[in-house]
């Protein structure tokens, strides 16, 4: 069962590894990202950040989609993390069970505007968020479980 799907450019770090995992009751983390799936060093670093007693799986977005659709992940209380809005958009388009997306952190880059403390979006990312909302996915911005959540559509205008 998918407990939460989150966009966070830092992927797995203390905030995710401890507060969110506990808050949503997850026992397995799926990092869905093409670059990580090809990078042994990044995978090794992420494994060190994994909370004890929690399974960690790192796959490309396409392989994540296949796993989610096949049902092999159904036995877990799954916390899915993507590095980008594009990655989560790809997941949501292919996996109808994902009905909610938390945007926790998107790094600043040229051509992006700040919509919350830790979220910076481009026009293309705003369009992806609108697509998700139009498809009935609840998209919200929230850094930690104790923070107030904001509707993404309200923030992007």
Residues 6+ apart with CB under 8 A from 106: 7, 9, 84, 85, 112, 118, 119, 120, 121, 125
Instruction: Give the class (CATH, top level) of 2-156.
Output: alpha beta
pLDDT at 127: 98
Give the mean model confidence (pLDDT) for residues 5-14: 92
pLDDT at 51: 86
Instruction: Report the DSSP beta bridge partners of residue 5.
Output: 80
pLDDT, tens only, 67-113:
999 999 999 999 999 999 999 999 999 999 999 999 999 999 999 99
pLDDT at 52: 87
Q: Is the pLDDT of residue 140 over 90?
A: yes
Give the mean model confidence (pLDDT) for residues 22-51: 93
Which residues are known catalytic residues? 13
């Amino acid at each position: 069962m998918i407990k939460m799907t989150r966009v966070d450019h830092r992927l797995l770090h203390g905030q995710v590894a401890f507060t969110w995992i506990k808050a949503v009751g997850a026992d397995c983390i799926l990092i869905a990202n093409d670059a990580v799936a090809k990078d042994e060093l990044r995978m090794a670093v992420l494994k060190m950040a994994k909370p004890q007693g929690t399974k960690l799986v790192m796959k490309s977005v396409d392989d994540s989609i296949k796993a989610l659709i096949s049902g092999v992940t159904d036995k877990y209380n799954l916390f899915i993390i993507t590095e980008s809005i594009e990655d989560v958009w790809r997941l949501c388009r292919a996996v109808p069970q994902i009905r909610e997306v938390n945007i926790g952190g998107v790094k600043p880059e040229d051509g992006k505007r700040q919509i919350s403390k830790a979220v910076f979006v481009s026009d293309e990312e705003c369009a992806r968020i609108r697509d998700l909302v139009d498809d009935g996915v609840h998209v919200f911005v929230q850094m930690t479980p104790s923070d107030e959540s904001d509707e993404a559509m309200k923030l992007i205008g």
